[in-house]
Structure 1
């Protein structure tokens, strides 16, 4: 579904259908930066048009360059304020309490929601919901990865808004991976799950089914042993044909390090391996042997991956 100005106006005036509302919320979640840039671009263009227009005023009434610069700064300031208002405080949401729980690298957290749903938040993740959760709907926003054990309530579907996709269930157990700049991955352990992508296409999954998107593009739907994909709860790292870029991001979150590549050819590799409570050195030893690269761990939390061995 294409996001148009008219659709956004319908959303903020409260006239969207449930499907339209879901699509706009997914867009707001994933595209806030570009939204802001678009608004500022319009402001700048309008401002330029005013400044460039010949002034047919007498010299005594002309604004100095200093005052025009001040006017431009104020206009941009208020434009930024408009974006923030539209993003967070429209539709009477100014008085709503918003809850945000986040985890740092190497840490996990278990949350029990008011409806009885249990959410295990993986490292480097963020979950957001407001005080109306459970009243008319059960809605959360996820950046990162979490295991959801959703309490059953047929009258109030549980929805998760992530990067490029939105999940909807009544009562089930699923793992949802939706880190920024990483592939989206949904794995179902129990029950049935509906997931909708940014194009509005819906996919239905049942137990031991998994679906993936890479850079917002549908990648694959397959049968898996779903239990393998929640091993992170027990400090197990599972890489299953994982792109090297994503594997590096996972290692950075788990071991709280920053990885730098000197040989960009490594990014063409994929990783398939399982590590259970292994140290950073043990993980890098195994990967460097199988993928044939050198590495160096620097005491300040840096890891250097060097040229591929000949």
Structure 2
């Protein structure tokens, strides 16, 4: 991480924070230099949180954390939830606001990496990169012909969710000469790409579908069996959003029956558990929720968590409060 000036406090003045998620070691180290850190995941005692709760003024979570109203109610002094990640669908933001608790996340800094990963997964599935790697490693080259793969350049791409990440995916897809269309909660002003009101309507019109929308109850199961059928037997699905956005059972069925051609998945409904059926399929590329997992981006995310905490305890405006 870049050198950062320490927060000016005496040991007795250091704010106490609760670490409620796994975050990179360099962030844990930086937090410990400036705050009193209570790592709840490192404590087997179920009563640990309640013992430290009266002194905890902030919670550090990540995009997979579940911070419910009941959990917040156990923390009478908490003032801030700082999320290490762009997604905060596991945080009950309404309950936090009712308590006067502010919530922050780390947007923008991970946009490029996630968009890059979306295109990497799309290419890996369409061009059968993992299979080609095994073909060479297993000594099959020259013994049997490798099957033809799918062209990506010039294909029709649908993007589900045209926010920061979706727009960055579209920018990259344009470099491949792809024909881009999208769906979102509403049509975006100033966007020339064709708009379709539902994922099913979009899927009917494209060859490949990338999911980049937010998670949470509003998008749970948004990509359902009907949408997958509409994508068709030559269709490819890529999900770099949240596992819950795709009906996982319907996806397994669609892949098993060849209702779609393949899928590239960085996220899953019950991480880190991945359905055995998906792991056994040769038409699926699986990665461990690593789309933003470059050192550069994770460092920038960590710095933004620190910036939000420092600003809060210094009484300054928060750099990235959630909308």
Q: Same fold (TM over 0.5)?
A: no
Give 1 or 2 for the bigger CA radius of gyration. 1
Higher-RCO chain (CA-CA 8 Å, sequence separation at least 6): 2
Q: TM-score under structure 2 normalisation?
A: 0.30
**Structure number having the greater strand percentage:** 1
